[in-house]
Amino acid sequence: MTSYQHVLASMTLACSLLPAISRADDQVAALRAELEALRSDYAARIGALEARIELLAAAPAVPAAASPSPVTAFNPAISLVLAGNYANLSQDPGSWRIAGFMPSGGEVGPGERGFNLAESELVLSANVDPYFSATLIVAITAEDEIEVEEAFFRTLALPSGFTARGGRFFSGFGYLNEVHAHAWDFIDQPLVYQAFFGNQMAQDGVQLKWLAPTDLFIELGAETGNGQAFPATRRNRNGLSGATLFAHLGGDLGQSTSWRAGLSWLDLRAADRTWEDVDGQGEPVLNAFRGSSRTWAVDAVLKWRPYGDSSRRELRLQGEYFRRQERGQLAFDVEGLGLRDAFRSEQSGWYLQGVYQFQPRWRAGLRYDALDSGTPGIGLVDAGTLPLESFPILAVASPERITMMLDWSPSEFSRLRAQYAWDDARDSGRRDRQFQLQYLHGIGAHAAHKY
């Protein structure tokens, strides 16, 4: 090919490429124009939002409580828990009593033989306004009686991690005391709760908690109330009655393990706390205690969940230790002889339990609990006024119990449980073999359970 032909071919190729290059330049220009338009549009929107923020910040604040929404005013969350059981007991449940401890009157024990309708629980709760929430928890007993378990308000807007509660509520003392029956891992409470508090301690009063703003869970709390709950008695006086202090710590150990530990102290007063006993001849008498009752407790919980997922497997270890000291006056046969002298006692109790979810919806648990009544100092006995046999309920004892359970939860609203216990809590020394079946069914929204 000649040089003339080369030049002609190059010119022809260049002419053919000119339209494509022109179209590419047009597309780039169009994209740049669209980008500039978007920038202008977003700048205008941001400017408008900033102007609205400045306008709202300058406007006077209107309390949200002035016009509560219909949802919070007339539609509280409502839930109901139905419970029942079947019990096969080797000993007469009518004679069940924890040996070595003054009866509170609230001990539940194994319950009645055969089929039983257990306590049902009705809960109503809602936010009152931006500052308070309110909760009412009513127990409907198998005896067709209605009891108020808890009825309290709780603050929502206190600063610096503080929350306050007022009304009737389960005390924050220990770990299990705040947990309602449907959330227990076993059908019944440990012996130490039944002996020390008559199952659970609730009173009318106020509570203040503080949650520290730290990575480590730190919670401090204090309570005071009317002192009506065992081991105290309500007194006809103004002012505060008794005090409760507690502290909780918690955190994580790696990705799968978490823990929580607590220390609690309770100081109460009893005035004529009566109980029925028999004298040395087996005749019924009514005795009474008056004085101080101080209890301290330590609790700990350890949970293992593979990478935080509890849907398939979980292991929870839990335990508490209580020690109580009482000092005051003991009256013998208050409706007859009316003898009275000094009294002192130091008693303790503890339990340790483990619950393992070995596959989804199935759990197995084992619990051991024990009490030590100690040796009481009874002035009427030390002075020779009465023999020790005049106080059979206060005889030294070491009650204990071993309990196994297996439960299945077909959903988060239902649970079926089988439980077997070897109970050596009676003063007769006879072991009670207890087999129970339980059902729990929840209806409606329910608050999250305790850690």
List the chain pLDDT tens, one digit each, 451 residues: 554 455 445 545 444 544 544 555 667 676 676 667 666 666 666 666 665 665 555 544 444 444 444 444 457 889 999 999 999 999 999 888 899 999 987 777 888 999 999 989 999 999 999 999 999 999 998 888 899 999 999 999 999 999 999 999 999 999 999 999 999 999 999 999 999 999 999 989 999 999 999 999 999 999 999 988 899 988 777 877 889 999 999 999 988 999 999 999 999 999 989 999 988 888 899 999 999 999 999 999 999 999 878 788 999 999 999 999 999 999 999 988 989 999 999 999 999 999 999 999 999 999 999 999 999 999 999 999 999 999 999 999 999 999 999 999 999 899 999 999 999 998 777 899 999 999 999 998 776 677 7
Domain residue extents for the chain: 1-59, 70-444
**Tell me, what's the pLDDT at 102?**
92
Q: What is the pTM of this model?
A: 0.81
**Tell me, what's the pLDDT at 282?**
83
Q: Which CATH superfamily is domain 70-444 in?
A: Porin (2.40.160.10)
- Please write down the HEC assignment for all residues of the chain: CCHHHHHHHHHHHHHHHHHHHHHHHHHHHHHHHHHHHHHHHHHHHHHHHHHHHHHHHHCCCCCHHHCCCHHHHHCCEEEEEEEEEEEEECCCHHHCCCCCCCCCCCCCCCCCCEEEECCEEEEEEEECCCCEEEEEEEEECCCCCEEEEEEEEEECCCCCCEEEEEEEEECCCCCHHHCCHHHCCCCCCCHHHHHHHCCCCEEEEEEEEEECCCCCEEEEEEEEECCCCCCCCCCCCCCCEEEEEEEEEEEEECCCEEEEEEEEEEEEEEEEEEEEEECCCCCEEEEEEEEEEEEEEEEEEEEECHHHCCCCCEEEEEEEEEEEEEEEEEEECCCCCCEEEEEEEEEEEEEEEEEEEEECCEEEEEEEEEEECCCCEEHHHHCCCCCHHHCHHHCCCCCEEEEEEEEEEEECCEEEEEEEEEEECCCCCCCEEEEEEEEEEEEECCCCCCC
In angstroms, the CA 379 to CA 392 distance is: 15
